[in-house]
Amino acid sequence: MKFNLHKQLNKARLGQLFTAHGVINTPCFMPVGTAATVKAMSVRDLKEANSQIILGNTYHLMLRPTAERIASLGGLHKFMNWDGPILTDSGGFQVMSLSKLRKISQEGVKFRSHIDGSLHNLTPERSIEIQRLLGSNITMCFDECIEYPSTWHNVKKSMELSLRWAIRSKEAYIEREGYGLFGIVQGGVYEDLRIESLAGLEKLDFDGYAVGGLAVGEGQEIMFQVLDYIGHSLPQNKPRYLMGVGKPSDILGAVERGIDMFDCVLPSRSGRNGQAFVRKGTINIRNSRYANDEGPLDSQCNCYTCVNHTRAYLHHLVRSGEILGAMLMTRHNIHYYNDLMVAIRADIEKNQLSEKHY
Protein backbone atom coordinates (compact mmCIF):
# COMPACT_ATOMS: atom_id res chain seq x y z
CA MET A 1 0.00 0.00 0.00
CA LYS A 2 1.57 3.24 -1.17
CA PHE A 3 1.44 6.50 0.82
CA ASN A 4 2.74 9.80 -0.50
CA LEU A 5 3.34 12.69 1.88
CA HIS A 6 2.96 15.84 -0.20
CA LYS A 7 3.32 18.60 2.35
CA GLN A 8 3.78 19.30 6.04
CA LEU A 9 2.70 22.40 7.96
CA ASN A 10 4.39 22.17 11.34
CA LYS A 11 3.15 18.69 12.33
CA ALA A 12 0.02 18.73 10.13
CA ARG A 13 0.38 16.56 7.03
CA LEU A 14 -1.13 16.50 3.54
CA GLY A 15 -0.92 13.19 1.71
CA GLN A 16 -2.47 10.48 -0.44
CA LEU A 17 -3.01 6.81 0.31
CA PHE A 18 -3.30 4.53 -2.73
CA THR A 19 -5.51 1.44 -2.44
CA ALA A 20 -6.90 -1.16 -4.81
CA HIS A 21 -10.26 0.64 -4.60
CA GLY A 22 -9.12 4.21 -5.03
CA VAL A 23 -7.00 7.05 -3.70
CA ILE A 24 -7.66 8.57 -0.27
CA ASN A 25 -6.69 12.20 0.28
CA THR A 26 -5.48 12.78 3.82
CA PRO A 27 -6.31 14.04 6.39
CA CYS A 28 -9.55 12.12 5.96
CA PHE A 29 -12.61 11.08 7.93
CA MET A 30 -14.13 7.59 7.68
CA PRO A 31 -17.88 7.23 8.34
CA VAL A 32 -18.54 4.16 10.47
CA GLY A 33 -20.46 1.41 8.68
CA THR A 34 -20.35 -1.12 11.50
CA ALA A 35 -22.62 -3.82 10.06
CA ALA A 36 -21.98 -3.16 6.34
CA THR A 37 -24.04 0.02 6.48
CA VAL A 38 -23.57 3.57 7.71
CA LYS A 39 -26.79 3.89 9.66
CA ALA A 40 -29.49 5.94 7.89
CA MET A 41 -27.25 6.43 4.83
CA SER A 42 -27.42 4.78 1.40
CA VAL A 43 -24.26 4.25 -0.64
CA ARG A 44 -25.44 6.98 -3.01
CA ASP A 45 -25.83 9.34 -0.04
CA LEU A 46 -22.30 8.54 1.11
CA LYS A 47 -20.87 9.30 -2.31
CA GLU A 48 -22.85 12.53 -2.63
CA ALA A 49 -21.49 13.51 0.80
CA ASN A 50 -17.96 13.06 -0.67
CA SER A 51 -17.00 10.12 1.52
CA GLN A 52 -13.69 8.62 0.41
CA ILE A 53 -13.51 5.53 2.63
CA ILE A 54 -15.80 3.81 5.11
CA LEU A 55 -15.21 1.56 8.10
CA GLY A 56 -16.67 -1.89 8.80
CA ASN A 57 -16.37 -4.04 11.91
CA THR A 58 -14.97 -7.55 12.34
CA TYR A 59 -16.88 -8.29 15.53
CA HIS A 60 -20.34 -7.42 14.20
CA LEU A 61 -19.87 -8.97 10.77
CA MET A 62 -18.44 -12.22 12.14
CA LEU A 63 -21.61 -12.64 14.20
CA ARG A 64 -24.01 -11.77 11.39
CA PRO A 65 -24.21 -12.43 8.56
CA THR A 66 -20.71 -14.05 9.08
CA ALA A 67 -17.56 -13.37 7.11
CA GLU A 68 -17.88 -16.61 5.21
CA ARG A 69 -21.32 -15.64 3.90
CA ILE A 70 -20.09 -12.21 2.81
CA ALA A 71 -17.12 -13.82 1.07
CA SER A 72 -19.42 -16.24 -0.77
CA LEU A 73 -21.43 -13.25 -1.97
CA GLY A 74 -18.39 -11.52 -3.43
CA GLY A 75 -16.88 -9.69 -0.46
CA LEU A 76 -17.90 -6.63 1.50
CA HIS A 77 -17.51 -4.17 -1.40
CA LYS A 78 -19.94 -6.09 -3.58
CA PHE A 79 -22.20 -7.06 -0.67
CA MET A 80 -22.95 -3.43 0.20
CA ASN A 81 -22.36 -2.04 -3.31
CA TRP A 82 -19.56 0.28 -2.17
CA ASP A 83 -16.70 0.52 -4.69
CA GLY A 84 -14.42 2.74 -2.61
CA PRO A 85 -11.82 1.76 0.00
CA ILE A 86 -12.90 -0.01 3.20
CA LEU A 87 -11.08 -0.24 6.54
CA THR A 88 -12.14 -2.90 9.02
CA ASP A 89 -11.24 -2.75 12.69
CA SER A 90 -10.14 -5.97 14.33
CA GLY A 91 -13.00 -6.48 16.77
CA GLY A 92 -10.89 -5.95 19.87
CA PHE A 93 -12.76 -2.87 21.09
CA GLN A 94 -16.19 -4.45 20.60
CA VAL A 95 -15.12 -7.59 22.45
CA MET A 96 -14.32 -5.32 25.40
CA SER A 97 -17.39 -3.09 25.19
CA LEU A 98 -20.18 -5.38 23.97
CA SER A 99 -19.46 -9.05 24.54
CA LYS A 100 -20.61 -11.06 27.54
CA LEU A 101 -18.43 -13.21 29.81
CA ARG A 102 -15.21 -12.62 27.87
CA LYS A 103 -12.06 -14.48 28.86
CA ILE A 104 -8.70 -13.21 27.66
CA SER A 105 -5.67 -15.49 27.30
CA GLN A 106 -2.44 -15.55 25.33
CA GLU A 107 -4.33 -17.40 22.60
CA GLY A 108 -7.05 -14.79 22.15
CA VAL A 109 -10.47 -13.93 23.53
CA LYS A 110 -13.36 -16.27 24.22
CA PHE A 111 -16.66 -14.47 24.54
CA ARG A 112 -20.39 -14.79 24.26
CA SER A 113 -22.25 -12.82 21.62
CA HIS A 114 -24.23 -9.81 22.81
CA ILE A 115 -26.88 -10.85 20.27
CA ASP A 116 -27.72 -14.44 21.21
CA GLY A 117 -25.19 -15.53 23.83
CA SER A 118 -23.43 -17.95 21.47
CA LEU A 119 -19.80 -18.78 22.30
CA HIS A 120 -16.99 -17.51 20.03
CA ASN A 121 -13.21 -17.55 20.01
CA LEU A 122 -11.42 -14.59 18.41
CA THR A 123 -7.67 -14.89 17.94
CA PRO A 124 -5.23 -12.71 15.98
CA GLU A 125 -5.23 -15.30 13.20
CA ARG A 126 -9.03 -15.49 13.07
CA SER A 127 -9.40 -11.70 13.11
CA ILE A 128 -7.03 -11.38 10.14
CA GLU A 129 -8.82 -14.22 8.34
CA ILE A 130 -12.20 -12.55 8.81
CA GLN A 131 -10.91 -9.25 7.45
CA ARG A 132 -9.40 -11.04 4.44
CA LEU A 133 -12.73 -12.78 3.78
CA LEU A 134 -14.47 -9.41 3.96
CA GLY A 135 -11.96 -8.02 1.44
CA SER A 136 -11.12 -4.87 3.38
CA ASN A 137 -8.41 -2.66 1.92
CA ILE A 138 -7.03 -1.76 5.33
CA THR A 139 -6.85 -4.55 7.90
CA MET A 140 -6.21 -3.76 11.56
CA CYS A 141 -4.08 -6.05 13.70
CA PHE A 142 -5.82 -7.68 16.66
CA ASP A 143 -5.26 -5.93 19.98
CA GLU A 144 -6.63 -5.72 23.49
CA CYS A 145 -8.49 -2.57 24.42
CA ILE A 146 -8.14 -1.97 28.14
CA GLU A 147 -10.57 0.09 30.16
CA TYR A 148 -9.82 3.63 31.29
CA PRO A 149 -8.62 4.36 33.89
CA SER A 150 -6.25 1.44 34.49
CA THR A 151 -3.05 1.17 36.49
CA TRP A 152 0.39 1.31 34.86
CA HIS A 153 0.97 -2.37 35.60
CA ASN A 154 -2.33 -3.45 34.04
CA VAL A 155 -1.77 -1.28 30.98
CA LYS A 156 1.76 -2.63 30.57
CA LYS A 157 0.50 -6.21 30.70
CA SER A 158 -2.19 -5.41 28.14
CA MET A 159 0.21 -3.54 25.86
CA GLU A 160 2.69 -6.43 25.87
CA LEU A 161 -0.12 -8.85 25.01
CA SER A 162 -1.16 -6.61 22.13
CA LEU A 163 2.43 -6.61 20.86
CA ARG A 164 2.51 -10.40 20.86
CA TRP A 165 -0.81 -10.43 19.04
CA ALA A 166 0.57 -7.88 16.53
CA ILE A 167 3.37 -10.32 15.64
CA ARG A 168 0.84 -13.09 15.05
CA SER A 169 -1.40 -10.73 13.06
CA LYS A 170 1.52 -9.84 10.83
CA GLU A 171 2.41 -13.52 10.30
CA ALA A 172 -1.21 -14.37 9.42
CA TYR A 173 -1.68 -11.48 6.99
CA ILE A 174 -1.48 -12.24 3.26
CA GLU A 175 -0.01 -9.30 1.33
CA ARG A 176 -1.75 -8.06 -1.80
CA GLU A 177 -1.19 -5.05 -4.03
CA GLY A 178 -3.36 -2.13 -2.91
CA TYR A 179 -4.13 -3.65 0.50
CA GLY A 180 -2.42 -3.04 3.83
CA LEU A 181 -2.13 -4.01 7.49
CA PHE A 182 -1.99 -1.37 10.23
CA GLY A 183 -0.43 -1.82 13.65
CA ILE A 184 -2.04 -0.26 16.72
CA VAL A 185 -0.04 1.64 19.33
CA GLN A 186 -1.34 0.96 22.84
CA GLY A 187 -0.15 2.02 26.27
CA GLY A 188 -2.99 4.05 27.73
CA VAL A 189 -1.98 7.48 29.00
CA TYR A 190 1.53 6.36 29.98
CA GLU A 191 4.28 7.83 27.81
CA ASP A 192 6.86 5.13 28.46
CA LEU A 193 4.40 2.38 27.53
CA ARG A 194 3.31 4.17 24.35
CA ILE A 195 6.94 4.57 23.27
CA GLU A 196 7.63 0.90 24.04
CA SER A 197 4.58 -0.19 22.05
CA LEU A 198 5.57 1.90 19.04
CA ALA A 199 9.14 0.61 19.12
CA GLY A 200 7.89 -2.97 19.02
CA LEU A 201 5.47 -2.26 16.17
CA GLU A 202 8.04 -0.42 14.06
CA LYS A 203 10.19 -3.57 13.97
CA LEU A 204 7.30 -5.30 12.18
CA ASP A 205 7.09 -2.60 9.46
CA PHE A 206 3.33 -2.23 9.15
CA ASP A 207 1.74 -0.39 6.21
CA GLY A 208 0.28 2.18 8.60
CA TYR A 209 0.12 2.93 12.31
CA ALA A 210 -2.92 3.62 14.45
CA VAL A 211 -3.18 5.12 17.92
CA GLY A 212 -5.68 3.07 19.91
CA GLY A 213 -6.97 3.26 23.45
CA LEU A 214 -7.98 6.93 23.34
CA ALA A 215 -11.42 8.58 23.30
CA VAL A 216 -12.41 6.14 26.04
CA GLY A 217 -13.14 8.69 28.74
CA GLU A 218 -9.81 10.40 29.30
CA GLY A 219 -10.92 13.77 27.91
CA GLN A 220 -9.52 15.95 25.14
CA GLU A 221 -6.69 17.51 27.16
CA ILE A 222 -5.18 14.14 28.10
CA MET A 223 -5.73 12.79 24.58
CA PHE A 224 -3.80 15.72 23.14
CA GLN A 225 -1.02 15.19 25.68
CA VAL A 226 -0.63 11.61 24.44
CA LEU A 227 -0.62 12.76 20.82
CA ASP A 228 1.96 15.46 21.63
CA TYR A 229 4.56 12.81 22.43
CA ILE A 230 3.46 9.93 20.21
CA GLY A 231 1.99 11.66 17.12
CA HIS A 232 5.24 12.98 15.70
CA SER A 233 7.08 9.78 16.68
CA LEU A 234 4.98 7.63 14.33
CA PRO A 235 6.80 6.68 11.10
CA GLN A 236 6.98 9.67 8.77
CA ASN A 237 6.40 7.69 5.57
CA LYS A 238 3.31 5.79 6.74
CA PRO A 239 -0.32 6.90 7.29
CA ARG A 240 -1.29 7.66 10.88
CA TYR A 241 -4.75 6.81 12.19
CA LEU A 242 -6.40 7.94 15.44
CA MET A 243 -9.12 5.41 16.22
CA GLY A 244 -12.61 6.44 17.30
CA VAL A 245 -12.14 10.24 17.23
CA GLY A 246 -14.18 12.38 17.30
CA LYS A 247 -15.61 15.87 17.59
CA PRO A 248 -14.51 18.49 15.03
CA SER A 249 -12.25 20.15 17.62
CA ASP A 250 -10.71 16.73 18.40
CA ILE A 251 -9.98 16.16 14.72
CA LEU A 252 -8.45 19.58 14.16
CA GLY A 253 -6.26 19.25 17.25
CA ALA A 254 -5.13 15.78 16.21
CA VAL A 255 -4.31 16.95 12.67
CA GLU A 256 -2.15 19.65 14.24
CA ARG A 257 -0.34 16.83 16.07
CA GLY A 258 0.38 14.81 12.94
CA ILE A 259 -2.63 12.48 12.50
CA ASP A 260 -3.93 11.62 9.00
CA MET A 261 -7.02 9.42 9.44
CA PHE A 262 -10.08 9.46 11.69
CA ASP A 263 -13.31 7.55 12.30
CA CYS A 264 -16.17 8.11 14.69
CA VAL A 265 -19.84 7.19 15.10
CA LEU A 266 -20.58 10.73 16.31
CA PRO A 267 -21.92 12.33 13.09
CA SER A 268 -24.31 9.46 12.35
CA ARG A 269 -25.33 8.83 15.96
CA SER A 270 -25.88 12.52 16.58
CA GLY A 271 -27.92 12.81 13.40
CA ARG A 272 -30.23 10.02 14.52
CA ASN A 273 -30.71 11.84 17.81
CA GLY A 274 -31.50 15.25 16.36
CA GLN A 275 -28.12 16.96 16.71
CA ALA A 276 -26.58 18.72 13.72
CA PHE A 277 -22.99 19.88 13.36
CA VAL A 278 -22.80 23.36 11.87
CA ARG A 279 -20.01 25.88 11.40
CA LYS A 280 -20.89 27.67 14.61
CA GLY A 281 -21.06 24.54 16.72
CA THR A 282 -24.08 22.24 17.06
CA ILE A 283 -27.83 22.64 17.14
CA ASN A 284 -30.49 20.41 18.67
CA ILE A 285 -33.22 20.42 16.05
CA ARG A 286 -35.74 19.18 18.65
CA ASN A 287 -35.64 22.60 20.30
CA SER A 288 -38.94 24.48 19.91
CA ARG A 289 -37.07 27.56 18.67
CA TYR A 290 -36.73 25.82 15.28
CA ALA A 291 -40.45 25.01 14.83
CA ASN A 292 -40.97 27.97 12.49
CA ASP A 293 -37.39 28.45 11.27
CA GLU A 294 -37.35 28.60 7.47
CA GLY A 295 -33.56 28.59 7.19
CA PRO A 296 -31.31 25.61 6.44
CA LEU A 297 -29.38 23.74 9.11
CA ASP A 298 -26.19 25.51 7.96
CA SER A 299 -26.30 28.45 5.56
CA GLN A 300 -22.77 27.62 4.32
CA CYS A 301 -23.54 23.96 3.57
CA ASN A 302 -24.52 22.66 0.12
CA CYS A 303 -25.56 19.15 1.19
CA TYR A 304 -28.88 17.69 0.01
CA THR A 305 -30.52 18.38 3.38
CA CYS A 306 -29.52 22.03 3.57
CA VAL A 307 -30.34 22.75 -0.08
CA ASN A 308 -33.80 21.17 0.04
CA HIS A 309 -35.19 21.37 3.57
CA THR A 310 -35.76 23.89 6.35
CA ARG A 311 -35.03 23.62 10.03
CA ALA A 312 -38.78 23.78 10.62
CA TYR A 313 -39.35 20.67 8.50
CA LEU A 314 -36.49 18.80 10.13
CA HIS A 315 -37.80 19.82 13.57
CA HIS A 316 -41.18 18.36 12.63
CA LEU A 317 -39.68 15.10 11.33
CA VAL A 318 -37.45 14.49 14.31
CA ARG A 319 -40.07 15.44 16.88
CA SER A 320 -42.52 13.12 15.11
CA GLY A 321 -40.09 10.22 15.11
CA GLU A 322 -40.10 9.98 11.32
CA ILE A 323 -37.31 7.86 9.80
CA LEU A 324 -36.67 10.54 7.18
CA GLY A 325 -35.61 12.92 9.94
CA ALA A 326 -32.76 10.63 11.00
CA MET A 327 -31.76 10.16 7.36
CA LEU A 328 -31.65 13.85 6.51
CA MET A 329 -29.86 14.84 9.72
CA THR A 330 -27.25 12.10 9.28
CA ARG A 331 -26.75 13.01 5.64
CA HIS A 332 -25.96 16.58 6.65
CA ASN A 333 -23.58 15.56 9.44
CA ILE A 334 -21.55 13.20 7.23
CA HIS A 335 -21.34 15.93 4.60
CA TYR A 336 -20.26 18.43 7.23
CA TYR A 337 -17.46 16.16 8.46
CA ASN A 338 -16.20 15.60 4.92
CA ASP A 339 -16.37 19.36 4.26
CA LEU A 340 -14.34 19.81 7.42
CA MET A 341 -11.60 17.55 6.06
CA VAL A 342 -11.64 19.34 2.69
CA ALA A 343 -11.20 22.67 4.49
CA ILE A 344 -8.38 21.28 6.65
CA ARG A 345 -6.55 19.94 3.59
CA ALA A 346 -6.96 23.28 1.81
CA ASP A 347 -5.64 25.13 4.86
CA ILE A 348 -2.53 22.95 5.03
CA GLU A 349 -1.96 23.57 1.33
CA LYS A 350 -2.21 27.33 1.96
CA ASN A 351 -0.06 27.26 5.14
CA GLN A 352 -2.84 28.66 7.33
CA LEU A 353 -4.43 25.89 9.39
CA SER A 354 -6.96 27.50 11.73
CA GLU A 355 -10.39 27.06 13.30
CA LYS A 356 -12.12 29.63 11.10
CA HIS A 357 -14.03 27.06 9.04
CA TYR A 358 -15.25 25.03 11.96
**Per-residue pLDDT at 354:** 78
Let me know whether 287 and 347 are in one domain.
Answer: yes
Helix (H) or strand (E) holding 56: strand 54-57
Let me know whether 213 and 284 are in one domain.
Answer: no
Of 3, 78, 34, 39, the residue nearest 269 (C-alpha): 39
Q: How many domains does the chain have?
A: 2
Let me know whether 10 and 151 are in one domain.
Answer: yes
Let me know whether 256 and 200 are in one domain.
Answer: yes
Let me know whether 281 and 357 are in one domain.
Answer: yes
Neighbouring CB atoms inside 10 A of 172's CB total 20
Please work out, in degrees rounded to the nearest 5, the angle formed at the alpha carbon of residue 79 by the alpha carbons of 73 and 80: 175
Q: What is the CATH number of the domain that holds 13?
A: 3.20.20.105
| Residue 133 buriedness (CB in 10 A; 0-12 / 13-18 / 19+) | buried
Range of the domain at 223: 2-260
Let me know whether 36 and 131 are in one domain.
Answer: yes
What is the reported pTM? 0.97
Let me know whether 116 and 145 are in one domain.
Answer: yes
pLDDT of 244 strictly over 90: yes
Let me know whether 285 and 196 are in one domain.
Answer: no
pLDDT, tens digit (0-9, with 9 covering 90-100), for 150-198: 999 999 999 999 999 999 999 999 999 999 999 999 999 999 999 999 9
* End residue of a domain, out of 260, 280, 306: 260
For residues 18-41, give the mean pLDDT.
98
**Per-residue pLDDT at 357:** 60
Q: What CA–CA distance (Å, rounded) separates 56 from 88? A: 5
| Residue 23 buriedness (CB in 10 A; 0-12 / 13-18 / 19+) | middle
Let me know whether 91 and 219 are in one domain.
Answer: yes
Residue 137 DSSP class: S
pLDDT, tens digit (0-9, with 9 covering 90-100), for 112-163: 998 999 999 999 999 999 999 999 999 999 999 988 999 999 999 999 999 9
Q: What CA–CA distance (Å, rounded) separates 201 from 206? A: 7
* End residue of a domain, out of 260, 282, 304: 260
Backbone dihedral angles phi then psi of residue 45, each to the nearest 5 degrees: -60, -45
Residues with catalytic roles: 89, 263
Let me know whether 34 and 153 are in one domain.
Answer: yes
